[in-house]
Amino acid sequence: MAKNHYDVIIVGSGAGGGMATYQLASAGLKVALVEAGDFYDPADDNQRTQLRNPWESPRRGASSTRRPFGDFNACIGGWEIEDEPFTTTEGTEFMWWRARMLGGRTNHWGRISLRFGPLDFKRRDTDGLGANWPINYEDIKPYYDKLDKLIGVFGSNEGLYNDPDGFFLPAPKPRLHELFYIEGAKKLGIPVIPARKSILTKRLNTERGVCYYCNQCDRACSIHADFSSGTSLIFPALNGGQVDLLTNCMVTEVDTDETGTATGVTYIDKRDRSRQSISGRTVVLAASACSSARILLNSKSTQHPDGLGNNSGHVGRYLHDSTGASRAAFLPDLMDRDIYNEDGVGGMHVYTPWWLEDQNLDFTRGYHLEIGGGMRMPNYGFGFAVNEYNRFIGKRIGGYGNQLREDIKRFFGARLSIACRGESIAQYNNYCELDPSVVDEWGMPVLRFNYRWTEHEINQAKHMQDTMEELLRASGGIPLGDKPGADESFGLTKPGEIIHEVGTTRMGNNPETSVTNEFCQLHDSKNVFVADAGPFVSQADKNPTWTILALAWRTSDYIVDQMRKRNI
């Protein structure tokens, strides 16, 4: 049951919201955590999808609108949410993923946990594009260090300047397909190092278990060995008695008084469709970069006619997502393998960090390579184009029954894939705004997106494709399908498709060109903070979650300090 007044109201339970909840509740503050989705615990057998067999799903594990990455994928949400549409301007192909459950997108992500490096905070100094962050690596390094120890991340210290070392748990060894990739990369002089992922390979505390290598992190872990905001941060905070959790509550706006100061939030209780309000001394928005921007834009008042925090007109601006491209190959040397358990952790055990810093390329900013393949528990759609493989080796194409079964066994594990993830350039004209004529089920204006890739991202995608083809061939692979050309933007993913959108409430020292300060505090309202990826000035070629968590911890420390000083 919600109380009348809180020290802090936190909107959203993903990475940033979970960290803010944990830290602020640990500091003794009374916290209301408001989540648009339902409660979720992967250890609850009624909600567990881990270790389910394909026949336990009506669709044999196939995807649905509610779970686009498969019926056993942990994350409830997707690109399309019933009665919660979004719109785009002409020529925009933006994809907006939203999670609707406790823990948010941390139930979906691959647990890739990369620190931004010193260069990533000051990219404008090297290429003249975008803007520098108002902070540097040394400002956030103490929080990365504490994060490694609190949550746990496996990896290895490699002494790479812009891929900083950390406090790592032991990394799992490479699997067979990854050994082929390592040999191929070695021929081309391309580095390969152990992956860095927030999965426990050693015991960290008594609340969470140790990974037993079932390769199903995408289904969420019933022993809480992989990180999600719910299991690793919110559950301990709830146990402390300082947090009231409000689920299935859709926040529509931040309430303000006659001075423009935030006084609480208004939300729709989705169970009975009632409109409710709670009050608080401070509000922390952590609903995701675009959702937090939407709430701010919808929080209009006499003092904030264009939306809360939007005196600069920059809320929603500089929206950007990671670039992406992928390719796969057939490895003939891995045909007719003995079938054995090589599951490992979910996703990659090794990866390639950006290795061409200061090279003369026709694009700026880099990318990293994520490696896939191997043998994991088969489920719906795992048959992987056996006809193409048979065509390569000159065997009969087609077949069913025993022929199909024998082909699948023969080719099982003989696939190597690479997915590239890169940095795009933040652009003022890539933005989200409130659509003036479309509302969602709850009567709230939906977001309208305007987004275009630039030549930097397209040229980067071409380089990705050339690199992947070289690596796949050097690894002994036969690339599958044709390499995408200029007519397909070299296979560049659509904006938003990588689910790394950032930058809509970017931080800066100048209130005329930014929304938040270096502590993610609104310039226009001192008791409102943003704890998701909105304050990012640039994306880097790294997955954003580890930096969201570190910034949220830093912001939480600042909130506690300012409350003690009675500044908020």
Please give the Cα distance from 534 to 285 (Å, whole number): 10
For residue 83, the model assigns a pLDDT of 87
Flag whether pLDDT at 166 surpasses 90: yes
Q: What is the mean pLDDT of the chain?
A: 95
* Interatomic CA distance for residues 109 and 161, integer angstroms: 26
In the structure, what pLDDT confidence band is assigned to residue 394 with cuts at 50, 70 and 90? Answer: confident
Q: What is the mean pLDDT of residues 395-413?
A: 87
Q: Which of 126-140, 402-416, 449-463 has the lowest mean pLDDT?
A: 402-416
Mean pLDDT value of segment 448-477: 98
Q: What is the pLDDT of residues 112-131, one digit of tens each?
A: 999 999 999 999 999 999 99
Higher pLDDT: 515 or 58? It is: 515
> Whose CA is closest to 291, among 323, 251, 249?
251
SS3 call for 376: coil
Buried-state track 99-113, b at ≥16 Cβ within 10 A, e below 16? bbbbbbbbbbbbbbb
Q: Tell me: pLDDT of 400 over 90.
A: no
pLDDT value of residue 485: 97
Task: Give the per-residue pLDDT at 184.
Answer: 98
Average the pLDDT over 310-338 and give the result.
96
Which range has the worst mean pLDDT, 338-342, 419-423, 496-500?
Answer: 338-342
Kindly tell me if the per-residue pLDDT of 465 is higher than 80.
Answer: yes
Give the pLDDT band (50/70/90) at residue 486: very high
Q: Which whole number is the average pLDDT over 40-47?
A: 94
On the question of pLDDT at 523 being above 60, the answer is: yes
Distant-in-sequence, close-in-space partners of 488: CB < 8 Å, separation ≥ 6: none
Q: What average pLDDT does range 394-410 have in this prediction?
A: 86
Residue 4 has pLDDT above 80, yes or no: no
Residue 66 has pLDDT above 90, yes or no: no
224 closest CA partner among 147, 286, 146, 152: 152
> In whole angstroms, how far apart are CA 18 and each of 99, 144, 315, 550?
14, 16, 23, 12
Would you mind telling me the total number of residues written for the chain in this entry? 568
CA dist 209 and 200 (Å) reads 7
Query: Is it the case that residue 60 has pLDDT exceeding 90?
Result: no
At 62 the pLDDT is 79
Predicted confidence band at 489 (pLDDT cuts at 50, 70, 90)? very high
Higher pLDDT, 345 or 392: 345
Average pLDDT of span 320-330: 97
> What is the pLDDT at residue 68?
84
Give residue 59's pLDDT.
76
